[in-house]
Amino acid sequence: MSDVNYENLFEILKQKEDVKGKVTIILTPDLSIPTQDLMIRHRIKFDHIVNFKEISEYIHFTNVKKGGVTAFFTLNNEDKAVVFIQSEFIPYTADHHVHIMNAAYRYVFLINELAHISDVENSINIDRETEKGDLFKAEIYAKVCTLKHLTLKKYTYARMLYANTLLKVDDVNNDYYLKVQKEVMKKYPKKKLIQWSKQLS
């Protein structure tokens, strides 16, 4: 089990974004409802929610949100974003290991969502002005950035959880996610992900 305090790392990132004032990070128990409803539920004020239009040939048919979701919006002519992170991935118990696992998952998916924000802010795959982008490449970019971050920081326990999440796509009958997985594996081969998925520390 990890000796890294992922709960503390999450809070540090959250505080940094709070200081900047452009990104709000919220823990929520339920990501299944529409993003606009999530914003209303958590009292996020907005004038306009940005719905990026896909320009690639790959259509994302699923509405399943796993771990986290980011909404981009404007308020008083300012560009802002709100990140919703699932508060629990493993049902709550008094087990200390489950607590650590949930904290690591929250951190991992926050890194993934912040990669999406970086993508938009730097117009890498998505253009905020035109509200268009290659959402397929954006999904790959975020996953690769997350793996890179966890590897550089030597957060092997969090990387183990994330690698397992990426490998589980094999169990999902979803062509879009399988294509994303295939592209991620061009950077991080399946053999490497399997190796990481077994490293607890």
Domain ranges of the chain: 6-196
pTM reported for the whole predicted model: 0.92
At residue 148, φ and ψ (nearest 5 deg) are: -65, -45
Q: What is the pLDDT of residue 76?
A: 95
**φ and ψ at residue 23, rounded to 5 degrees:** -125, 130
Please state, in angstroms and rounded to a whole number, the distance separating the CA atoms of residues 81 and 21: 10
CA atoms within 13 A on the CB side of 65: 19
Tell the residue number behind the tokens 């993934």, with chain if given: 112
Euclidean distance between CA atoms 63 and 60, whole angstroms: 8
Backbone angles phi, psi at 80, to 5 degrees: -140, 170
Q: What is the pLDDT of residue 66?
A: 75
Which pLDDT score is estimated for 173? Answer: 60
Beta-strand relationship, 78-86 and 23-28? parallel
DSSP the chain: ---S-HHHHHHHHHHHHHHHTSEEEEEES---S-HHHHHHHTT---SEEE-PEE-SS---------SEEEEEEEETTEEEEEEEEES-SS---S-HHHHHHHHHHHHHHHHHHHHHHHHHHTTSSEETTTTEE-HHHHHHHHHHHHHHHHHHTT-HHHHHHHHHHHHGGGGS--HHHHHHHHHHHHHS-HHHHHHHTT---
pLDDT digits (tens, 9 = 90+) for 164-181: 999 987 555 678 888 999
Ranges of residues in the chain with a pLDDT under 70 are: 1-2, 58-65, 92-94, 170-173, 201
pLDDT of residue 1: 62
Arithmetic mean of pLDDT over the chain: 90
Q: With b meaning 16 or more CB within 10 Å and e meaning fewer, what string describes 57-74?
A: ebeeeeeebebbbbbbbe
Instruction: Please state, in angstroms and rounded to a whole number, the distance separating the CA atoms of residues 128 and 105.
Output: 28
Q: What is the pLDDT of residue 3?
A: 84
Q: Quick: pLDDT tens for 57-96.
A: 766 545 455 799 999 999 999 999 999 999 998 876 667 7
